[in-house]
Amino acid sequence: MTTHILALPTDVVERWRSAGVDEYGNRLTPIVADRPAAFPCRHCLQDAEPGEKLLLAGHSPFAQAGPYKEVGPVFVHAEPCTRFDGDDVPQQLRRRLLALRGYDRTQSLVDGVVVEGAAIEGALASLFAQPEVAWVHVRFAKPGCFACRVERAAGEQV
Q: What is the pTM of this model?
A: 0.94
Instruction: Parse the chain into domains and list their residue ranges.
Output: 9-84, 86-152
- Supply the pLDDT for residue 109: 97
**CA 129 to chain centroid:** 21
Rounded Cα–Cα distance for residues 90 and 107 (Å): 25
Give one DSSP letter per residue of the chain, joined into a string.
--EEEE---HHHHHHHHHHSB-TTSPBPEEEE--STTS-BBTTT--BPPTT-EEEEEEE---SS-STT---EEEEEESS--PPPEESSPPHHHHTSEEEEEEE-TTS-EEEEEEEEGGGHHHHHHHHHTSTT--EEEEEETTT--EEEEEEEPTT---
pLDDT tens figures, 10-62: 999 999 999 999 999 999 999 999 999 999 999 999 999 999 999 999 999 99
- Which pLDDT does position 147 carry in this prediction? 98
With a cut of 70, say whether residue 92 has pLDDT above it: yes
Would you give the end-to-end CA distance of the chain in angstroms? 9
> Residue 53 and residue 156: Cα distance in Å, rounded?
38
The pLDDT of residue 89 is 97
- Residue range 115-150, pLDDT digits in tens: 999 999 999 999 999 999 999 999 999 999 999 999
